[in-house]
A = this chain, B = another copy of it.
Amino acid sequence: MNIGEASSATGVSAKMIRYYESIGLIRAPLRTGSNYRVYGDDEVHVLRFVKRARTLGFSVDETATLLGLWQDKSRASGEVKDIAIGHIAALETKIAELQGMVKTLKHLAHCCGGDKRPDCPILDDLAGEGPITNRYRDD
């Protein structure tokens, strides 16, 4: 398989496949006489693993660790679980942060007439001047 075929087989762009190779996340594959990269089932399998881990929001570093654990027959599954649990916590922190933003913005948008009048509680809040809104400020 060409890099293009490996790409469409895995959903990882050719650009990213080369990048993953350059940073050592995946091994350099064999080359044809004309210097084309050649991928087989094993490589495609690894790329799918990487793709899935990235889709789940693992960083490339975490993906590298998971990949190592995957290929290590003597691994302890507790180690993997720990990474997953840590990742869940990080995701939940991020979610809470975004939800805080949404809450504040919804409140502001609700208080904002949205018509042609220049008075705008959203801008007032951003400016730190809002006498109207019970602002959810964090300062």
Contact = CB atoms under 8 A, between A and B. Distances in A.
Interface in A76-123: 76-78, 80-82, 84-85, 87-88, 91-92, 94-95, 98-99, 101-102, 104-106, 108-109, 112-120, 122-123
A82 B122 CA distance: 11
Interface of A: 11, 45, 48-49, 52-53, 55-57, 66, 69-70, 73-78, 80-82, 84-85, 87-88, 91-92, 94-95, 98-99, 101-102, 104-106, 108-109, 112-120, 122-123, 125-128, 137-139
21 contacts: A52-B126, A52-B127, A52-B128, A52-B137, A56-B105, A70-B123, A75-B118, A76-B115, A76-B117, A76-B118, A77-B114, A78-B113, A78-B116, A80-B120, A80-B122, A81-B113, A82-B114, A84-B112, A88-B105, A91-B98, A98-B98
